[in-house]
Amino acid sequence: MEYTLRDTGINKKRIYVHLSKEEVEKEIEQAHIMMAYQKNIKVDAKSDVKRLLLDKMDFGEYMMVLKDTIMDRIAPFAITEHKLCLIGRYKCQSDWPVVMGKPYDFSILCTTKPTYELRDYSPVEVTMPEFKISDSDLQGAMASFAERASQMVADGARKKVISGDNIEIKMETVCNGKKVRNLSSDKRSYIVGQGLMPEQFDKNIIGMLVGETKEFSFTAPAPVPDKDGKQYDAEYQVTATVLAICKKVVPAITDRWVKDNVEGCETVEDLQNRMRDELRRLRGAEYDDQLAGACASELGKRLVGSIPDDLFEIVYGDLAAQFDAQLEAQGTNRTEWIKNNNVDEQQFMMMLMFQAREQLVQGFALDAWARHYELEPEEEDYKMVYSSAAPGQEELYKREMAATGNQYLIDEMAMRFRANRHLVDTARISVE
């Protein structure tokens, strides 16, 4: 695989990529596997993956996705090879389809980071609130701990089920003459009226008395599809007995309760000390993040020069796309988010514009700080990158980024973490 790098304008570079016909063959095979995964197609070593893909898409779509998949897989490796630092995402371009047995050429258009300087490289001065764990903080943590230790117990004063009740229920369910195991139990908890079961089910449960047994039916999708693999609605017959209506009981945190229920603690004071240490750890990490942000913000005020509009628009567009993707993953959209957060479209745009500006200014300022002090990222900085991007799955994220050629992104983030650490370590910090 051959790469050729050329300047095409201010902060613009283009990488020309040439694949031999042998490399094209390997890339097509890899692209087929990636495309099958995206289409939820199960394949093995004997599968004709191309045929399976063409069963799911027409030929034109197949050729377009194949080309894009190959270009997007190669691009990060080419960027890492040339040690480029980008603003926004690269763009791959080619006027020709990928054809088995023929070489292939395409290009990668990159917008690279400009170099800025600071008017002053002396330590920054910031003012931070005093870090402390107050009595009210500890009381809140203890109350939350007690809430998490709460239990549902039978409420002897309640006899009749209403919507919202947490009940214990015995039930046996039959569909098409067969027992439905996941809907049959001698005892299970159930919250009435929360949509956990069809509405017909809840309507029959509401009004039942503790100890009462009732037979009824409801309609819902059958446990298994029909012989043709199609889903259909079926009738379920239920025999249900309400065993208890439950209430939540929050324990009183006493020395005896702590000794019996909290491993490693004998008294309430022991538990409070543990909770205070945990608060210091959690709040300390938050405080460190706030301090790092305050130092970077102060450093950004020293940036010399203005940021071109096209760079600003790239970052603004990326932030908007990321925000929309996060909302989609949560099952909502920007319109609903704006409505639920009592802001209008203009305010939302201003929020993203401010965020884009701060991201650019602080990033360029940290780059300048790192160059001036000849800093290099250390192992601690890479660990911070992985833990911030994928908490609890750091090693998996590290391997994935290396395997997909995105090391250039990791290196940039690690360098900025290093610069921010040095900035904080040398800062003059006042406590108010």
Burial 132-146 (b: 16+ CB within 10 A, else e): ebeeeeeeebbeebe
* Domain 2-111 homologous superfamily, CATH: Trigger factor ribosome-binding domain (3.30.70.1050)
Decide if 266 contacts 255 (C-beta within 8 A).
Answer: yes
Q: Which residue has the tokens 């780059």?
A: 367
Decide if 159 contacts 210 (C-beta within 8 A).
Answer: yes
Tell me the pairing of strands 12-19 and 91-93: unpaired
Decide if 142 contacts 271 (C-beta within 8 A).
Answer: yes
Phi-psi region of 360 (alpha: psi -120 to 50; beta: other; left: phi over 0): alpha
CA distance 336 to 62: 34
CA distance 362 to 368: 10
CA distance 430 to 127: 5
Q: Where are the domains of the chain?
A: 2-111, 125-130+290-431, 151-249
Label each residue of 171-184 as H, E or C: EEEEECCEECHHHC
**How many Cα atoms are found within 13 Å in the side-chain-facing hemisphere of 319?**
19
What are the structure tokens assigned to 188, written together?
A: 């299970």
- Closest by CA position to 77, among listed 403, 410, 414, 394: 403
CATH number of 151-249: 3.10.50.40
What are the structure tokens assigned to 99, written together?
A: 């054809």
Q: Long-range contacts made by residues 25-28, C-beta under 8 angstroms, separation at least 24? A: 25/100, 25/101, 27/70, 27/73, 27/74, 27/98, 28/66, 28/70, 28/98, 28/100
* Tens-digit pLDDT string for the chain (432 aa): 899 999 998 889 999 999 999 999 999 999 999 999 999 988 888 889 999 999 999 999 999 999 999 999 999 999 999 989 899 889 999 989 999 999 999 999 999 999 999 999 999 999 999 999 999 999 999 999 999 999 999 999 999 999 999 999 999 999 999 999 999 999 999 999 998 899 999 999 999 999 999 999 999 999 888 888 888 999 999 999 999 999 999 999 999 999 999 999 999 999 999 999 999 999 998 999 999 999 999 999 999 999 888 888 988 988 899 899 988 988 899 888 888 888 888 888 899 999 999 999 999 999 999 999 999 999 999 999 999 999 999 999 999 998 888 888 899 999 999 999 999 999 999 998
Q: What is the pLDDT of residue 36?
A: 92
Decide if 163 contacts 193 (C-beta within 8 A).
Answer: yes
- Closest by CA position to 198, among listed 169, 233, 231: 233
Q: What is the pLDDT of residue 43?
A: 86
- Residue 190 CB neighbour total at 10 angstroms: 21
CA distance 189 to 166: 7
Q: What is the pLDDT of residue 230?
A: 87
Q: What is the pLDDT of residue 288?
A: 93
Decide if 423 contacts 366 (C-beta within 8 A).
Answer: yes
Q: What is the pLDDT of residue 16?
A: 97
DSSP 8-class letter at 86 = B
Q: What is the pLDDT of residue 369?
A: 98
CA distance 66 to 35: 8
Burial class (CB in 10 A: 0-12, 13-18, 19+), 259: middle
Q: What is the pLDDT of residue 268?
A: 96
DSSP 8-class letter at 130 = P
Tell me the pairing of strands 12-19 and 2-9: antiparallel
CA distance 106 to 19: 9
What are the structure tokens assigned to 66, written together?
A: 């194949």
- Residue 345 CB neighbour total at 10 angstroms: 10
CA distance 108 to 116: 25
pTM of the model: 0.71
Q: What is the pLDDT of residue 422?
A: 97
Tell me the pairing of strands 166-175 and 233-249: antiparallel
Burial 319-339 (b: 16+ CB within 10 A, else e): bbeebeeeeeeeeeeeeebee
May I ask the CATH architecture of the domain 125-130+290-431?
A: Orthogonal Bundle (1.10)
